[in-house]
Amino acid sequence: MSFLHIENLTKKYIVDHETFLGVDNISLSINRGEFLSIVGHSGSGKTTLISIIGGILKPTSGRVLLEGVDICAFDDNRLSEYRSRRIGFMFQFASLLPILTAKENVLLPGIFKPGQKTDNDTVARDLLEMVGIGEKLDSYPSQLSGGQQRRVAIARALLNNPDIILADEPTGDLDEETEAEILQLFEKINREQGVTIILITHNLELAGTAQKKYRMSKGCLVDI
């Protein structure tokens, strides 16, 4: 059995009495430590798909099996624990809390995870050094560039040692050079830590660096 198995996943939205298919009967198997990318136009269903995988959205039908356990059957509390222990999220915008320093933002997921140390400077420093901004420990998001903010978000996603990182167009508003740096960082995390990465992007070139590449269109997923 594959590490992550998606089975006949469908998500319907009803808007003004009309039904839209965000995700249309998708099935997919992902092995542990794989790096895969999904490209597609806006509204093709990419974000809906990874939101269901990440447990922040319930599907209309189908299953998402992580090591054989269907996360779609989880209640809200178990889904939160699932996100906390196994998933690292990255969004298509600077998703840091403006009131917290880089260090505090990195440690934030720890307060939601029982038993996680949240007073450890070393953990935050190591993670920020790993993403290349160890000197920005006490900087607030407003004092960081867009690329630096993304790096803090990556460090935050890694705090709880996740099995999977779900990155939803994490470099959408960054310049090419920074985009390449962030991508290299994902590759490094995937290679060195064996973290499964699902990267959503508009950029075909960026998508090309992944081991497996998919395109989404009108809720359907196809190999590239």
Partner 1 sequence: MAQISFFSVALKNLKRKTFRTGVLVFAIALLVSLLIFAISFTVSVASSLKKSSERLGADLVVVPVGARGFAEEFLLESKNTSFYMPGSIIDKVEKIEGIENLTYHTYLSSISGLCCDIMPTRIVAYNPATDFIINPWLQESLGRPLQPGEAIAGSGTSENLGLGLLDIEATIFDNRFKIVGVLEQTGTGLDHALFMTEENLKNIIASGKSPLKKGDISIIFTKLKKGYDPDFVGRVLEGQIPEVDVVARSDMGEKFISTLADINKIFLLTTVLASVLTTFLVWAIFSAIANERSKEIGIMRALGAKESHIVKLYLMEVLVLGLLGSLVGVLAGTYLSAMLAGSFSLLKNISAGLTGGQQTTIALIGLLIGTAICVTGAMMPINRIKKMEPLLVIKEE
* Contact residues: partner 1, CB under 8 A: 47-48, 51, 54, 56-57, 76-77, 80-81, 83-85, 87, 89, 91, 95, 97-100, 103-104, 107-113, 118-121, 124, 156, 160
We find the least distance from the C-beta atom of residue 48 to partner 1, in angstroms, to be 8
Q: Coil, strand or helix: which one is 22?
A: strand
We find the least distance from the C-beta atom of residue 145 to partner 1, in angstroms, to be 20
Token pair 């809200």 is found at 76
Residue number with CB closer to partner 1 (121 or 175): 121
Residue number with CB closer to partner 1 (21 or 57): 57
Residue number with CB closer to partner 1 (61 or 120): 120
We find the least distance from the C-beta atom of residue 84 to partner 1, in angstroms, to be 3
CA nearest 62: which of 73, 51, 54? 73
We find the least distance from the C-beta atom of residue 211 to partner 1, in angstroms, to be 25
Residue number with CB closer to partner 1 (96 or 224): 96
Is residue 88 exposed (0-12), middle (13-18) or buried (19+ Cβ within 10 Å)? buried
Give the pair of three-digit tokens for residue 81: 């624990």
DSSP sequence for 88-138: EEE-SS----TTS-HHHHHHGGGGGSTT---S-HHHHHHHHHHTT-GGGTT
Residue number with CB closer to partner 1 (108 or 180): 108
